[in-house]
Structure 1
Amino acid sequence: MATIGLDKLYYSKITEDSNGEETYSTPLVLAKAITAELSVELVEAILYADDGAAEVVKDFNSGTLTLGVDDIGPTAAADLTGASTDDNGVLISASENVGTPVAVGFRAKKANGTYRYFWLYRVKFGLPATNLQTKADSITFSTPTIEGTVMRRNKLDAFGKHPWKAEVTEGDAGVASATITGWFTEVYEPVYTPVP
């Protein structure tokens, strides 16, 4: 079903242990969401045999998340891009700044009134783009965009795989209400029942 809205844009700082496995902090509001565009890049390998394709493998390589937001405050800018705030409260961006990966969560409203929820487990953002325009005969809002590379996380799930995204639709069969109500209180961790 098509989506007709976007809101609840959160991020969670990542701490890595000595093995590089991620632990997520309590999610924080990133900004008010205007747009979110996620594109995915796959790695493809084709094995040819007997004059045709015998095997095709397509794996997740990376993705690009482009966010249009109302404003990126100094705290979120520092967490996402590595910028710092000086003693006078001025956000300072330096050429040496390197942001650390964060998890990003949001939800999209569907036409039937329910929501589809997302967590991207590891996103590394670049510097936000700023578009400014003089006021003329009409008022045009200028808002920042920020682009990040979506990567798989280092932490393995119960099947020995590296998740890169969690997605759930409110009201789908098997979706517990606690999953939806707790979606933005912490970054969602996959839950699997052990197979005997």
Structure 2
Amino acid sequence: MGFIKARNLTLFPVTGDDETGYTAGEPIKMAGMMDIKLTPQTDRANTFADDIMYKKTQIFSSCDVEFTMEDVLEEVRAKMLGKKVDSIGGVSDNANDIAPDFALAFKAGRDDGTWKYTVLYKGSFEEFESEHASRADKAEPKNQGVKGTFVARIFDEEWKYTLDTANPKTLEADVADFFTTVKEPKAPTTP
């Protein structure tokens, strides 16, 4: 069973993340997601003792995210990158702009009809590349690629949470609010 579809890309502005808790704001629905790729980055080290590899250590550092959108409206781009919007809807790009943190949620579907729901808890986005072309003898739309880096939360060091409807324990009610609020894990039943 392969993944054949991806949709419902949703961003949530991170409004707080410290030792006392984590909060996120209202969802921003992103229309027209074409694809998404998550590439976790880990630091690995091997310890040798008694002439053998004695211990392997692996530490999560970040997760690179790339997705393609049919288009990203300038107002949404401004929110994603910390830009200012003027009274007539123009977006001002300043060298000192700082991209805020967001949680990112989406779902990926399999050919059997089941879905894998994923939320990344905290990350920010890079400036968008821009490509435009004149119309030629056939339509070749240019789509918007977006890149970001996601990290673990300060609050509890969680960085990602997934629910999979292929698992009989995951009920439709468990994913009903996945795109209206940042989904948090339940108390673990296994280590």
TM over 0.5: yes
Deviation of the 1:193 alpha carbon: 5.9
Counterparts in 2 of 1:148 and 1:186: CA distance versus 1, 3 Å = same
- The one-letter amino acid of 1:138's match is K
Partner of 1:31, secondary structure, is coil
Deviation of the 1:34 alpha carbon: 0.9
Q: Distance in 1 between matches of 2:39 and 2:166?
A: 26
Larger strand fraction of residues: 2
- The one-letter amino acid of 2:168's match is A
- The one-letter amino acid of 1:172's match is N
2:110 matches 1:124: no
Aligned to 1:95: 95
Counterparts in 2 of 1:112 and 1:137: CA distance versus 1, 3 Å = same
Deviations 1:113-155 (A, max 9, x none): 1111110101111111112122111110101111100101112
Deviation of the 1:177 alpha carbon: 2.1
Q: Distance in 1 between matches of 2:92 and 2:71?
A: 16
Are 1:31 and 1:73, in contact at CA under 8 Å, matched by a contact in 2? no
Deviation of the 1:66 alpha carbon: 0.8
Aligned to 2:187: 192
Alignment of structure 1 residues 25-104 onto 2, 5 Å:
25-104=25-104
Q: Distance in 2 between matches of 1:169 and 1:10?
A: 18
Q: Distance in 1 between matches of 2:18 and 2:41?
A: 29
Deviations 1:33-77 (A, max 9, x none): 011111111011111012221100112111110111012123321
Cα root mean square deviation, aligned: 1.8
Counterparts in 2 of 1:193 and 1:48: CA distance versus 1, 3 Å = closer
Q: Distance in 2 between matches of 1:179 and 1:117?
A: 10
Q: Distance in 2 between matches of 1:104 and 1:25?
A: 12
Partner of 2:47, secondary structure, is strand
Are 2:17 and 2:155, in contact at CA under 8 Å, matched by a contact in 1? no
* Runs of 5+ unmatched residues, structure 1: 157-161
Q: How many residues align?
A: 190
- The one-letter amino acid of 1:170's match is T
Q: Distance in 2 between matches of 1:179 and 1:79?
A: 29
Q: Distance in 1 between matches of 2:144 and 2:28?
A: 19
Q: Distance in 1 between matches of 2:142 and 2:52?
A: 52
